[in-house]
Amino acid sequence: MSNHRRFITAPFIAATAAAGLLMTAACGSTDNGSTPAPADKSASGSSQQEKKADSPAKSERADLTRFRLDDRSQAGITNIWIVWTIKNTSAKKSNYQVDWEAVDSSGTRVANSTEYITDVQPGQTTTGEDITTLRSTQGIKLNITSFDRTAAY
C-alpha cells in the first residue's frame, strides 16, 4: 500500500508546486526597481511650499519627507542610524511600512531593513530612527525599495 501512496503523492506535489509557481508569476509585481530616498530639504523651506502649491495630487510616497543616514560614530566606535520624517497628508489615521536598502559605490547592497510607523494622525508629522549595521557612510546611497501607507483602525 505504501508504494501506491507514493505514486499518488508525487503527482499531487508536482501539481501543487506548479500551481504555486503560476500564482506567484501571475500575482508578482513587475516593478522590481527602487527609488532613491528623499533628499534632506530642510534648508529650502519657502521653495518647498511653492512647489507644493503648484503640484497636482500627491502620492502616498510624498508623505516620506526625510530619509537619511546619521553617522554618530565616536572614538572609533561605529554608530550609524537611519532617521526619517513622515507627514500624513491623508484624511485618515495611517500606518506606514518603508523597505529600504543601502548600496555602496559599486552597486552592492550592504544593508537593508524595514521601518514600521504606526498610528500617524491626519496632518501629523512624526520622526523616527533606527540603528543600522553599516560600518561607514562613505559612498553609501539609500534606496526606498517599497513604501506602503494603510489606514489605521
More confident: 113 or 27: 113
d(CA 139, CA 153): 41
More confident: 38 or 138: 138
Ordered strands of the 35-36 beta sheet? 35-36, 141-151, 94-103, 109-120
Q: Which CATH number fits domain 35-151: 2.60.40, 1.10.405, 1.10.1740, 1.10.3470?
A: 2.60.40
Spatial neighbors of 40 by CB under 8 A, at least 6 apart, are 66, 68
- Note the pTM of the prediction, 2 decimals: 0.63
pLDDT tens for 77-106 read 999 999 999 999 999 999 999 999 999 999
Q: What residue spans define the domains of the chain?
A: 1-30, 35-151
pLDDT tens for 25-49 read 344 444 445 666 666 554 444 334 3
- The predicted pLDDT at position 32 comes to 46
